[in-house]
Amino acid sequence: MVIEDDPDARRLLAACLRRLGMRVREAATAAQGFAQLERGTPDLICLDLRLPDANGFALCERIRATPNLRDVPILVITALARPIDRAQAEVAGADGYVLKPFRADAFADSVIELIALSSVAPS
The 3 state secondary structure assigned to 45-79 is EEECCECCCCEHHHHHHHHHCCHHHCCCCEEEEEC
How far is residue 22's CA from residue 123's CA, in Å, rounded to a whole number? 9
In tens, the pLDDT along 83-98 reads: 999 999 999 999 999 9
Q: Which fold has domain 2-117?
A: Rossmann fold (3.40.50)
How far is residue 91's CA from residue 25's CA, in Å, rounded to a whole number? 25
pLDDT at res. 122:
47
DSSP for 4-39, written as a single string? -S-HHHHHHHHHHHHHTT----EESSHHHHHHHHHH
How many Å separate Cα 97 from the centre of its chain?
Answer: 9
Residue 118 has pLDDT above 90, yes or no: no
In tens, the pLDDT along 1-53 reads: 999 999 999 999 999 999 999 999 999 999 999 999 999 999 999 999 999 99
